[in-house]
Amino acid sequence: MTPDSLKELLNAVKEGSFTVDEALVRLRELPFQDLGCAQVDHHRELRLGVPEMIFGEGKSAAQIVRIVTAMADNGSNVLVSRLSIDKARKVMAAFPMAIYHDDARCLTLEQRTQERRGRGTILVISAGTSDIPVAAEALVTARFLGNEAASLYDVGVAGIHRLLARREQLASAGVIIVVAGMEGALPSVVGGLVDRPIIAVPTSVGYGASFGGIAALLGMLNSCASGVTVVNIDNGFGAACAASLINRS
Amino acid sequence: MTPDSLKELLNAVKEGSFTVDEALVRLRELPFQDLGCAQVDHHRELRLGVPEMIFGEGKSAAQIVRIVTAMADNGSNVLVSRLSIDKARKVMAAFPMAIYHDDARCLTLEQRTQERRGRGTILVISAGTSDIPVAAEALVTARFLGNEAASLYDVGVAGIHRLLARREQLASAGVIIVVAGMEGALPSVVGGLVDRPIIAVPTSVGYGASFGGIAALLGMLNSCASGVTVVNIDNGFGAACAASLINRS
Amino acid sequence: MTPDSLKELLNAVKEGSFTVDEALVRLRELPFQDLGCAQVDHHRELRLGVPEMIFGEGKSAAQIVRIVTAMADNGSNVLVSRLSIDKARKVMAAFPMAIYHDDARCLTLEQRTQERRGRGTILVISAGTSDIPVAAEALVTARFLGNEAASLYDVGVAGIHRLLARREQLASAGVIIVVAGMEGALPSVVGGLVDRPIIAVPTSVGYGASFGGIAALLGMLNSCASGVTVVNIDNGFGAACAASLINRS
Amino acid sequence: MTPDSLKELLNAVKEGSFTVDEALVRLRELPFQDLGCAQVDHHRELRLGVPEMIFGEGKSAAQIVRIVTAMADNGSNVLVSRLSIDKARKVMAAFPMAIYHDDARCLTLEQRTQERRGRGTILVISAGTSDIPVAAEALVTARFLGNEAASLYDVGVAGIHRLLARREQLASAGVIIVVAGMEGALPSVVGGLVDRPIIAVPTSVGYGASFGGIAALLGMLNSCASGVTVVNIDNGFGAACAASLINRS
Amino acid sequence: MTPDSLKELLNAVKEGSFTVDEALVRLRELPFQDLGCAQVDHHRELRLGVPEMIFGEGKSAAQIVRIVTAMADNGSNVLVSRLSIDKARKVMAAFPMAIYHDDARCLTLEQRTQERRGRGTILVISAGTSDIPVAAEALVTARFLGNEAASLYDVGVAGIHRLLARREQLASAGVIIVVAGMEGALPSVVGGLVDRPIIAVPTSVGYGASFGGIAALLGMLNSCASGVTVVNIDNGFGAACAASLINRS
Amino acid sequence: MTPDSLKELLNAVKEGSFTVDEALVRLRELPFQDLGCAQVDHHRELRLGVPEMIFGEGKSAAQIVRIVTAMADNGSNVLVSRLSIDKARKVMAAFPMAIYHDDARCLTLEQRTQERRGRGTILVISAGTSDIPVAAEALVTARFLGNEAASLYDVGVAGIHRLLARREQLASAGVIIVVAGMEGALPSVVGGLVDRPIIAVPTSVGYGASFGGIAALLGMLNSCASGVTVVNIDNGFGAACAASLINRS
Amino acid sequence: MTPDSLKELLNAVKEGSFTVDEALVRLRELPFQDLGCAQVDHHRELRLGVPEMIFGEGKSAAQIVRIVTAMADNGSNVLVSRLSIDKARKVMAAFPMAIYHDDARCLTLEQRTQERRGRGTILVISAGTSDIPVAAEALVTARFLGNEAASLYDVGVAGIHRLLARREQLASAGVIIVVAGMEGALPSVVGGLVDRPIIAVPTSVGYGASFGGIAALLGMLNSCASGVTVVNIDNGFGAACAASLINRS
Amino acid sequence: MTPDSLKELLNAVKEGSFTVDEALVRLRELPFQDLGCAQVDHHRELRLGVPEMIFGEGKSAAQIVRIVTAMADNGSNVLVSRLSIDKARKVMAAFPMAIYHDDARCLTLEQRTQERRGRGTILVISAGTSDIPVAAEALVTARFLGNEAASLYDVGVAGIHRLLARREQLASAGVIIVVAGMEGALPSVVGGLVDRPIIAVPTSVGYGASFGGIAALLGMLNSCASGVTVVNIDNGFGAACAASLINRS
């Protein structure tokens, strides 16, 4: 839309050949529609389909309480990820209804029942027991976002029979989140077994040449299975957000 | 299936309460069912939902012709990716029906009409004109896999109005593949605009500190938009495979 | 501007309490004003203060001619950077007025005299003779953007007296672009001598542990002189764009 | 000064048309003129236009007090950056007039009113709330150096409308400092919106593949917006120094 | 085994020419035979020849006790590696028979005498005294796995005569594990002296450009001695597992 | 041997209680015994158990012929690795008996029958067809060193059933060399299936974030299977040398 | 010495034309002469010209006391580097004569006066005050090794006049050790001023893209001054050892 | 020269006790004395003790001829390093007296006999035959700079006896340059054998995880031998410059 065509539109409104409502339809997709809501973006759910979520790391308990309050006043459900138990206790003092998910280091406050919106089940699998915190973060997030979700832990590739025994469960999932550290080989094997969208989450589990998850990240990016996509190291939260969008698409 | 249940199954076959064919159905999901077909895995489409595809780089034209022949004899459609024009000419001499997609450096041989299987449209967008080869690879692959697909090129973040003007097109897509080099910022902006699954493809476009696509890759992995997943640098093919699985899930 | 206030504005236009021109003023800052001009963003100069510029690397001569034509038809001056002599010859066949700057690997087409807009002189200095191509790219770009520009080459820190002898010239510049490869130490020394804004450009000149310019880049980012900012490796063009903005600010 | 002009000067001294003292004045601009001032470089403000500043990290409170004392005795204003609250308390015991800026981890001691010397406003914007400490360091430093300065926080690219709504504020700034972690995409978008000099500051905010700010740093160095320059990770101080030089140039 | 041969087998069972047990023998090599034993893989020793071993890092004492209990109930010997003294004390409270190897940070529980199965001696040598913890982990593991093992510490290449004096001991070993940090040169020298299989273990001993063991790792991977293989940084455990397989092969 | 014991030995020789020959036996194990044979180390086979081998890359055909001649005159068998077909032709002109192994880019000259010295079979397996050159180098080298060797190609983890079908072949090997590029996951899976020593060879096969084999290398170093050791990227030769030592140990 | 010449020597001893002592002189340069003294290599000073030195990091106070005791009993002077004040106190309890150098984190025990052996002065200069601990380690070590040594701190390149004023001092040094963090540019400038051997020591001083000293290390390795050599990050000790060898050569 | 001595000099000129020319001589040592002679720094030899040397890489033959001419006219000896044979031929057409050193890729033009200035011999040793070009560059440079120099090639650590046999030669050298690629272990071993200053030169010889010389570089920087200093990868030239300074110090 050029300045000229905008001028034409405004003239048309003036002359009545275009109603105000019709002009509004043409104009309301503009970016500024959310302007009034400042930094706390209450329209985000409408626009992006995700409720309010806060990254807890690097924020003080007081800051988190303040933000959760603003969101809760709006009637939203709220998820706080990467929240230490210490801070969580302080947040829960202010919001007794909130639930802290210990293994996932997440806090959820559900003020209204989250309707189930996803078509299938999001299956979260982990290679080892040390990967469980990241997997649990994905699990809690997926459920918070209105999805059916299940988990399957400790099925890494060095004992491949453990995985093969669950082929049926894998094949029946809507989306599969595969969480693995060390060499990060599990997504390739899973991707070769079933035709489901697979989101790979490298974890920082390992030592030495795992370089805090780089080895797993590179392994997943180079997966020889052609349907695998990858998120940041330890990003169970992001994997669940993506899985949720896929599950509802 | 445990050893016990396997024993029961075998007993049932012996006693006739289960026919051989019924047992076969139960057993054919086992890993060894594809054994007879050696390396060319003709059951892959049944198992993984993707037809035959060959990575052309590092194979001679003669090798490619030999593999395509084996696949074509089986009645399959075939895609060869990362194929130079020189090798493509030799393959097309053997398969006159094949089509070479110049901008995508892909060859397709479609022996039977690919039925449309995806629900929505896969939209491939690129940040710059130099990213088009990777985007085109994604586009050709997405269509080869039975999806409706469209493209939108040169809508990088340094001229954000170009992208904002296409919000509607973005919002109506089933899955969005975002291809970008240099700083790889486009997926974050797109992910903040619409609630569609987004697959980010970093490209090796750039120089100096782009380090052959590492800058874009890291940018995408660290995207502040929470529904973005990432594939390998320049991997338009893999992005389309993942998008196709999502589109059909 | 909220939807409501937009509705009010439109109603005001309809009722005549606001003229179309007044509404246009309110609306023309919106991002969509450039919509009609597609990918070739002719309003960029108005918005960003820079004329048309094309990154020549990775585009064919034919593509470049097509883009230059679109821009030239609009009356713009055009700069093509990172253009090989071979491609330049083809572009100059189409635009005999264009000038190819051999040392800078840039082509300029000046259809109208560029008015001088910068306040001071942009001084481009290089550490060694091998850094000259990058320095020349900065020089050509700075002049193309309407700045007075001068150069001073081969004044690296291993012969510090060469630099000290030019203190006066350094101090009288408006902005200084410092181009250096290898250890990239020159910006720190210059930044310690004069109180001018300094833009450091690392070059890929060097071998071994210069890692294609990484050593120089890191050196510049860690400069102990506190007024130094840095651009990408070999990015003389970007340094000149930034210097030009500074010179006119 | 060339050998010839030096010869002339010496001849003039010999012939008495120039006194020894006059010759000395002409010669004292040579590098050795600051010899007497040892390590605490009191002439730095004259030479470089910046008052006394101390990098607090890695120095003991006692050392800092000693250096501040030497500077304060000279009548200078002093800024100590990267100073923990613990050390700050000890410094403030010695200098009760000093002010500690909590969010910026900076201490300032202003003994004389800093005259306003910059032409325009330095606008500091941050992508997220976690980037605020670095942004605040830039803000405090910019003001300490005699500039008008303003801030705008939490306008990252994943909610692009928040930024677009402030275009006017962006366009009216003299220099813009853009502080961002994670993928570091904000400078590119800002650089595409307005024609102001932009200094990008990557922060170490993020986790996993952000690699302590490398992802943001690379993103900014590869910015597709052509007027962006970059400083070291978390270097709000250096960005403000550069912005101040630009604002006064 | 092809589908056809499977069908034949089933037909044979049906017709009685093959008993159910005979079929079971043929089928029990399938991966699912371990299904019933969940994650604790009691058949691993049969399949892989190694008894139960637990990676202690990142598991709580309670978790470790639970896993050791499950394994011990099965009559197995158990090794817990990378176990801090604090956690070890809690595990030993539950298993008084267990032994904690202080220098190796390993705990072993031997319920039945481990029979000697290796042909030769596994010799563990270290370059410096700081490498001893990693070497000790290898030593304890090698013995736990049923091998004769010996050690030789502080024979680094900067005092080559110390190594040369032990040529005979080196030559008489079955397998040699060489543990070294810093430049990791020892395996090359040892590999040039004797014709034994050598497993190189880089350690994180060093500082600065040792980069936590990367220097040693790269040195070992690039060894000019042609019989050297490498494991992860600080992975004494893995080296001993590999050495044990070699010693028994 | 201490100075004292040396003195005793010399006294014994002087007094005749020890013949010169007996003393020589005692002394010939000293490092200097090979002195006379200069750089071409003909005693290497005795000391290290490997015949003469030349790294062909970066040497001219003339240089290689000269070195092979020196070795051949000594009656040795010779292997030249990493030899281009062009250079190989020139070497074969001089040594018509030599054989060039095209897929492995190796030349062998066998002047005397290599006796079989290894106990078992060295099995070389590759993940993909592009890994075959590296695998073939390992195969040729293993046989040259007197081992029974076999190969199994294209059994990567994305089609895990192809591997599972060959479990028996894997289990019966003496040593297994696993060659894989991209994510390098195959050694972990193989290491979880059988209790054989496994040498993993990462290859430079891949693109983008494979970083020329780094992804595969890191994957293998971080293998969750505990008997895997690793050699340099593309180092099929070194893997075979190590496997040969293991096979004969 | 070839086997033949050894045989001749032995024959000469046998026949008496060579005494045992004469043969011993010929043979005692062999590597095994230090055999008896195990790991504490008391002959190292004779062989390498350096007295006993211990790397204190990663050793317990008890271990250090044990090693120092062994060395001191031999009459040696001893230096312990990288020793924390806590451990130093325990060592000094055992050796009251020992001196702890606080700024250098070194302990020295001088039992006999170290004779001055170096020809010239070793001058240690540092770029900033934060580099002083590394510089002090070099200073203490240089003196311990019998050299005249002096220091010059805080003469970094951003205030180049401070350095230029000391040209004479620089030119009169025998060897110069240049210690610098951040961009590490000082050695290049010094190397361009004087013709003395320069040893550059990068320090881990800095933040962000200094990457713990990598920026300084790379800067120094790429120095455009052609007489600069480099040691590991923070390795003041090693620089002094090298300087001492040079000073005595 | 202090301000006082400058004042005295000027007074002397005024009073006639010093002619203008004499004063000029005294003053031309000031940094600006080279102004007239532009970039070609003819005083460099006086100041730094090294004659004219040109880095040939990245300069055209015409440029090199021009620079050599300027230097030769001044009577200097000239060395051009990193010069391809093609360019060398063109330079030699202009300077028939020049000599091209094929293995070192260097050209020397000696117009006057270089006096021997070094005290001892510079010994250049290389680990492998592929390292010879870098070693030869060091050898030619060392001789050009007026040193006695010798070489010893192919004495890498995997055949340690080859090195041990030359201990005497090592011990009698004034300075030792050790050139090695791959794992770069040779300097550590040499540094443990003799008390000579050692300059280590990593080479880019190797493949895979040698990363173009990084492995060797890191190995050398982490050398456990305490008198080793390091130069850039493949920098034989720089090693010789440093060795020459040491040899004359």
Q: What residue ranges of chain C have pLDDT lower than 50? A: 1-3, 28-43, 46
Q: How far apart are CA E21 and CA B147, in angstroms?
A: 50
Q: Name the least confident of E100-104, E117-121, G210-214, H28-32.
A: H28-32
What average pLDDT does the segment E119-144 reach?
A: 93
pLDDT of residue H20: 67
Q: Which residue has the higher pLDDT, A3 or D50?
A: D50
Under an 8 A CB cutoff, do B24 and E10 touch? Answer: yes
Model confidence at D48, pLDDT cuts 50, 70, 90, reads: low
- pLDDT at res. F158: 79
User: Which token pair is B26?
Assistant: 């139960």
d(CA G190, CA G229): 13
Q: Measured between CB atoms, which of A5, A10, A35 is closest to C1?
A: A35
Tens of pLDDT, residue by residue over F44-79, are 554 555 677 888 887 888 888 988 888 888 778 899
Q: Which chains touch D (3 or more CB pairs under 8 A)?
A: A, B, C, G, H
Residue C117, token pair as written in the block: 């807009």
Longest dimension (CA), chain F: 75
pLDDT digits (tens, 9 = 90+) for D62-117: 888 988 888 888 778 899 999 999 999 999 999 999 999 999 999 999 888 877 77
Mean pLDDT for chain D overall:
83
**Closest CA–CA distance from residue E201 to any residue of chain H (Å):** 14
C159 to G184: CB separation less than 8 angstroms, yes or no: no
Model confidence over F179-230: pLDDT tens digits? 999 989 999 999 988 889 999 999 998 999 889 999 999 999 999 888 899 9
Pairing assessment for the beta strands B175-180 and H228-230 based on DSSP bridges: unpaired
Query: Do the Cβ atoms of D231 and C231 come within 8 Å?
Result: no
Which of A155, A98, A154, A144 minimizes the C-alpha distance to A122? A144
Q: Is the pLDDT of residue E121 over 60?
A: yes
What are the structure tokens assigned to B92, written together? 């097309």
The nearest CA of chain B is from the CA of D19 a distance in Å of 55
Amino acid identity, position D95 = F
pLDDT level of residue D23 (50, 70, 90 thresholds):
low
Instruction: Give the model's pLDDT for residue H2.
Output: 41
Cα–Cα distance measured from residue D165 to residue G48, given in angstroms and rounded to the nearest whole number:
71
pLDDT per position as a tens digit, D115-135: 777 789 999 999 988 899 999
Go through chain F and tell me how many residues it has: 249
% of chain D beyond a pLDDT of 90: 48
Token pair in block for residue C232 = 């990408």
Query: What torsion, rounded to 10 degrees, do the Cα atoms A81, A84, A89, A90 define?
Result: -80
pLDDT of residue G45: 54
- Residues in contact with B240: Cβ distance below 8 Å, sequence separation at least 6, in sequence order: B122, B124, B137, B138, B139, B140, B141, B142, B145, B177
Mutate to test the interface with C, among H82, H233, H241 (most CBs of C within 10 A): H233
The one-letter amino acid at E54: I
Mean pLDDT of E240-245: 95
Amino acid at G43: H
Q: Which residues contact G43 (CB under 8 A, 6 or more apart)?
A: G33, G34, G37
DSSP state of A115: P
- pLDDT per residue rounded down to tens, chain A (249 residues): 444 555 676 677 777 777 766 665 555 434 332 222 224 444 455 455 567 788 888 788 888 898 888 888 877 889 999 999 999 999 999 999 999 999 999 999 988 887 777 789 999 999 988 899 999 999 999 999 999 999 998 888 877 877 888 888 898 999 999 999 998 999 999 998 888 999 999 999 898 988 999 999 999 999 988 889 999 999 999 999 999 999 987
Q: What value of ipTM does the predicted structure carry?
A: 0.82
The answer to whether F217 contacts E217, with C-beta atoms less than 8 Å apart, is no
Token pair for C244: 């030009």
Q: How far is CA G192 from CA E176, F22, G185, G227, in A?
A: 50, 62, 11, 9
Task: Please give the structure tokens belonging to residue D229.
Answer: 């320059």
Residue D232, min C-alpha distance to chain G (Å): 6
Least confident window among A13-22, B95-104, B204-213, E164-173? A13-22
Pure H helices in D50-103: 61-73, 85-94
Give the DSSP H/E element, type plus range, for residue F99. strand F99-101
Nearest-neighbour CA in chain G from H246: distance (Å):
6
Average pLDDT over residues F14-34: 57
Q: Are G233 and E154 inside 8 Å of each other by CB?
A: no
D10 CA to chain H: closest CA distance, Å? 7
Query: Rounded to whole angstroms, how far apart are CA atoms D106 and D95?
Result: 14
Query: What confidence score (pLDDT) does residue C5 get?
Result: 54
Q: Would you say F106 and F141 are in contact if contact means Cβ atoms under 8 Å apart?
A: yes
Residues from chain G that touch H53, judged by Cβ atoms under 8 A, are: 226
Q: Is E105 left (phi over 0), alpha (psi -120 to 50) or beta?
A: left
Cβ–Cβ below 8 Å for E20 and B3: no
pLDDT mean over B10-39: 54
Tell me which chain A residue has its CA closest to the CA of residue E56.
A130
Which parts of chain G sit beneath pLDDT 50?
1-3, 28-43, 46
- Residue labelled with tokens 């597709």: D224
Q: How far is B165 from chain F (nearest CA, A)?
A: 32
Scanning every residue of chain D, which has its alpha carbon at the shortest distance from the alpha carbon of H12? D14
How confident is the model over E43-75, as pLDDT tens digits?
455 455 567 788 888 788 888 898 888 888 877
* Tens digits of residue pLDDT in H181-216: 998 999 999 998 888 999 999 999 898 988 999 999
Q: Using a CB-CB distance cutoff of 8 angstroms, which residues of chain A are in contact with residue C30?
A: 30, 32
Contact E160 G31 (CB under 8 A): yes
F102, F155, F162, F211, best to mutate vs chain B, most B CBs in 10 Å? F162
Model confidence at H225, pLDDT cuts 50, 70, 90, reads confident
**Mean pLDDT estimate for chain E:** 83
Which member of C158, C193, C218 has the closest CB to residue G191? C158
Cα–Cα distance for residue pair E159/H192, rounded to 1 Å:
5
Between CA C40 and CA F155 the distance in angstroms is 50
Contacts (Cβ under 8 Å, ≥6 apart) of G12 = G18, G23
- Per-residue confidence (pLDDT) for residue A42, from 0 to 100: 43
Nearest-by-Cβ selection for G11 from F7, F20, F36 = F20
D164 with A39: Cβ contact below 8 A: no
Q: What is the pTM of this model?
A: 0.85
Q: Do chains G and A touch (3 or more CB pairs under 8 A)?
A: no
Kindly identify which residue of chain B lies nearest to residue A27, measuring between CA atoms: B165
Q: Is the pLDDT of residue B193 over 50?
A: yes
- pLDDT at residue A28, as a whole number: 43
First to last CA, chain A: 30
Residue C32 confidence (pLDDT): 32
**The pLDDT value given to residue D39:** 43
N residues, chain H: 249
Cross-chain Cβ contact A205/E59 below 8 Å: no
Q: What pLDDT score was predicted for residue E59?
A: 82
Provide the shortest C-alpha distance from residue D208 to chain A (in Å).
Answer: 5
